[in-house]
Structure 1
Amino acid sequence: MTIQTELISTESLPPIPAKRYFTIGEVSELCNVKPHVLRYWEQEFTQLSPVKRRGNRRYYQHHEVLLIRKIRELLYDQGFTISGARNRLGEVRDMAGTDSAVRLSAKEIQQLRGDLTQILEDLDSALSFR
């Protein structure tokens, strides 16, 4: 008799409800990860730091649930080690930081202002024809 374990991919996880905070039990179900694994990941991934309230109860926010799903994907679906997943998350964060730091010259800003002013004038004249 063989025991088969069902692997649940990230695509088949349930949708995340629109809530502000999630208990460790809810996150466990949303991410298909046992609560003790979530507590372990808190020690390994510094980005993961749920709010702790009375009785050391953990409350995860939406972005942390998304992060847990990403960690799960890296470890379970892509086969990364804890260290490799930690490095990959650091790379993604670094790339996002450099992409968001777009600098515009004064001339480019002036051009954008002119374009936006023109768009506003076009919208204003289109609305006055009604």
Structure 2
Amino acid sequence: MPYKEKEIEKLYYPIGEVAEMFEVNTSMIRFYEKEFEILQPKKNAKGNRLFRPEDISNLKIIFNLIKDKGFTIQGAKEFMKKNKNEVVEQQKVIESLEKLKSFMLELKEQL
């Protein structure tokens, strides 16, 4: 059985890395932090934002609602408040499908 490296997941991500993940400016991440109560990154002594994996997951939900589904910011806020459990479940499905897609693409390359 071949050795499979386990993905290393950080405990905290600086705002620059988060902005790269979502291919946006850091100002947009800061804007969403102000607009959405659910985003609560930790701040170090210097005041730098440090995002946890759950913050990244919440950002994925926000980007999905706004970019993919076409919600306004106010609409996304209301939808998340009313349907929190449904939104979280949908995000889990999306993440599992993304993992499956990357696995299939990796398998295709090996053939």
TM-score by length of 2: 0.66
Distance in 2, Cα, partners of 1:30 & 1:20: 15
Q: Quote the residue 1:84 is aligned against.
A: 75
Structure 1 stretches (4+) deviating beyond 3 angstroms?
A: none
How many correspondences in the alignment?
Answer: 81
Structure 1 residues 33, 92: CA separation in 2 closer, same or farther (over 3 Å shift)? farther
Structure 1 residues 38, 18: CA separation in 2 closer, same or farther (over 3 Å shift)? same
Distance in 1, Cα, partners of 2:55 & 2:17: 12
Sequence identity (%): 31
What is the CA-CA distance between 1:93 and the residue it aligns to?
1.9
CA offsets, 1:1-60, max 9 Å, x none? xxxxxxxxxxxxxxx951100000111111222110010111110010100112210000
- Which runs of no fewer than 5 residues in structure 2 stay unpaired? 1-6, 88-111
What is the CA-CA distance between 1:95 and the residue it aligns to?
5.6
- Which runs of no fewer than 5 residues in structure 1 stay unpaired? 1-15, 97-130
Structure 1 residues 89, 26: CA separation in 2 closer, same or farther (over 3 Å shift)? same
Structure 1 residues 59, 71: CA separation in 2 closer, same or farther (over 3 Å shift)? same
Distance in 1, Cα, partners of 2:78 & 2:8: 29
1:54 maps to amino acid? A
Distance in 2, Cα, partners of 1:17 & 1:75: 29
Q: Quote the residue 2:93 is aligned against.
A: none
Does structure 1 residue 28 correspond to structure 2 residue 19?
A: yes
| Counterpart pick for 1:50 among 17, 41, 44 | 41
| Counterpart pick for 1:63 among 33, 54, 66 | 54
Distance in 2, Cα, partners of 1:37 & 1:89: 19
1:51–1:59 contact (8 Å) kept in structure 2 = yes
The structure having more radius of gyration, on CA atoms, is 1
Distance in 2, Cα, partners of 1:17 & 1:79: 33
TM-score by length of 1: 0.57
SS of residue paired to 2:70:
coil
